[in-house]
Amino acid sequence: MHSPLTRRGFLATGSGLAAATVLPGLSGCSALTGADSDPDTLVVHSQLGTTAPGSPTYLAALDRFRKENPGLKVKNLINGDDLAQVYETSRLARKEPDVVMVNLYDKTLAWTDVGATVDVKGYLDDWGLRRRVLPQALAEWTDAKGRVRAFPYFATNWPIAFNRALLDRAGVDAIPTTGDELIAAARKLRAKGIAPVTVGGNDWTGQKLLAQIIQTFLTEDEARHAYTTGDFGSRGAREGIDYFVTLRDAGVFADKAQGLTSDTMTTQFNTQAAAIESAMSSALAKVPEKVARHTEVGGWPLTGGAVHDKPTILRTYTLIGFWISPNGTKKIDAVEKFLRFMYRPDTVSRFIKESGRDMALRSDTLSTDFPLVAAAQRLGGTVSQALLPDVYVPPAAAQPLITATSTSFTRGTSAAKVRAALETAYRSA
């Protein structure tokens, strides 16, 4: 695994600083001036604070925290998808924020190993917060050396959403649960001018769905091996790729899926231009009420010989965690107060009720105001779970895999070329 925190990486990522934004009233902050030596000022770097799902709840939580801790200031730095790059640059300058809220994927996989952030296992135990974390979440945030990379927080269910009204309009009598049923449904939908499965074939949403379909014939251990090593030559992997190609060339996916993004996918489903999408919880929470009322959630259809006995969904507990930086260890008392507050049951419940977020922490609260999120939470044993490969893909292969995904969603690309594209993503990393 190549460390992203090299001198070369520092020079390459410097331009990302211009993307850093802060909340009104915090104009003195930026990525490189994020550090604050004042022990009574906590600097938090987050993707929450603008349009990201959960932002209003998060900002309200910060306000409550400030009121409960009048002697402690909190500065909130906000970035979008470039957060990891901006953080790495600030860390190389020793100006990094104290706490980082981001997912475990791509660049962040290497952070603990290279000292960009610290192992939080001791803090988790010393502060008595381990009991709040779901066992599955703790396992996913723990690396091969037993280090806990961050305090788990957001999770997500990732089912398939089916617009029942559009299926009915096309004459599809039941939610498809097999590949043959899905192909038949796609033909009927197209005949009515409705896109079947919309997907961001040119970004991470397509990469996740492709991985899910390939795993039709892979056990969890086999899937872990494939996405760790980039070896897609096993019988199960080849059969999974064949299944994907069969579905793609039968017209299951929206036209020109290889060029679509997550935003396009969400728009097509939410405007009822497409009948089916693979949707994580945050996307389900944004489905308009008029669409949600006739939408059902389930799993991805299987085919003969599948290793799973039920349609599959993805689940992950690594969507957002609280990472502690080396600067944060210098203000660990303030960090402890903040994390204890964010782990409180009432704080966690607000994210579930107000924002429809799935959490990596124990809670009896359900997202009752977000019916599709709640429905996904209740799927339980009615679906099987495929492996989300994020924590196994080497960071340097993450972006090349997106390119391989676009190639894979291009109609006419043979199964052999799909496999070659996937494996090349690892060799070029």
Residues 283-294 have a mean pLDDT of 96
| pLDDT band, very low/low/confident/very high, at 81 (cuts 50, 70, 90) | confident
Q: What percent of the chain has pLDDT over 90?
A: 85
| pLDDT band, very low/low/confident/very high, at 28 (cuts 50, 70, 90) | very low
Quote the pTM value. 0.86
pLDDT of amino acid 34: 56
Is residue 256 within 8 A of residue 202, CB to CB? The reply is: no
Task: Pull the structure tokens for residue 289.
Answer: 């009420």
| pLDDT band, very low/low/confident/very high, at 177 (cuts 50, 70, 90) | very high
pLDDT tens by residue, 33-74: 456 678 889 999 999 988 888 999 999 999 999 999 999 999
Helix axes 395-408, 204-214, angle to 10 degrees: 80
Q: What percent of the chain has pLDDT over 70?
A: 91
Residue 4 pLDDT more than 70? Answer: no
Residue 152 pLDDT more than 50? Answer: yes
Residue 18 pLDDT more than 50? Answer: no
Residues 385-394 have a mean pLDDT of 93
| pLDDT band, very low/low/confident/very high, at 368 (cuts 50, 70, 90) | confident
User: Comparing C-alpha atoms, which of 254, 256, 258, 259 is closest to residue 271?
Assistant: 254
Burial of 367 (0-12, 13-18, 19+ CB in 10 A): buried
Burial of 193 (0-12, 13-18, 19+ CB in 10 A): exposed
pLDDT of amino acid 190: 99
pLDDT of amino acid 76: 94
Give the distance, in angstroms, between the CA of residue 52 and the centroid of all CA atoms in the same chain.
12
Residue 29 pLDDT more than 70? Answer: no
pLDDT of amino acid 36: 65
Residues 282-290 have a mean pLDDT of 95
pLDDT tens by residue, 247-271: 999 999 999 999 999 999 999 999 9
pLDDT of amino acid 265: 98
What CATH number should be reported for the domain whose range is 160-278+394-427? Answer: 3.40.190.10
* CA–CA distances in Å: residue 278 to residues 38, 291, 300: 45, 15, 8
Sorted by where each begins, the domain ranges of the chain are 7-157+316-373, 160-278+394-427
Residue 283 pLDDT more than 60? Answer: yes
Residue 143 pLDDT more than 90? Answer: yes
pLDDT of amino acid 32: 45
Residue 228 pLDDT more than 60? Answer: yes
Q: Which CATH number fits domain 7-157+316-373: 2.40.50.140, 3.30.390.10, 3.40.190.10, 3.90.550.10?
A: 3.40.190.10
Between 136-140, 272-276, 343-347, 364-368, the lowest mean confidence (pLDDT) is in 364-368
- Non-local (6+) Cβ contacts of 25 within 8 A are none
SS3 readout for the chain: CCCCCCHHHHHHHHHHHHHCEECCCCCCCCCCCCCCCCCCEEEEEECCCCCCCCHHHHHHHHHHHHHHCCCCEEEEEECCCCHHHHHHHHHHCCCCCCEEEECCCHHHHHHHHHCCCCCCHHHHHHCCCHHHECHHHHHHHECCCCCECCEEEEEEEECEEEEHHHHHHCCCCCCCCEHHHHHHHHHHHHHCCCEEEECCCCCHHHHHHHHHHHHHHCCHHHHHHHHHHCCCCCHHHHHHHHHHHHHHHCCCECCCHHHCCHHHHHHHHHCCCEEEEECCHHHHHCCCHHHHCCEEEECECECCCCCCCCCEEEEEEEEEEEEECHHHHCCHHHHHHHHHHHHCHHHHHHHHHHHCCEECECCCCCCCCCHHHHHHHCCHHHCEEECCHHHCCCHHHHHHHHHHHHHHCCCCCCHHHHHHHHHHHHHCC
Residues in the chain: 429
Domains 7-157+316-373 and 160-278+394-427 share a fold: yes
Residues 406 and 421: their CA atoms lie apart, in Å, by: 10
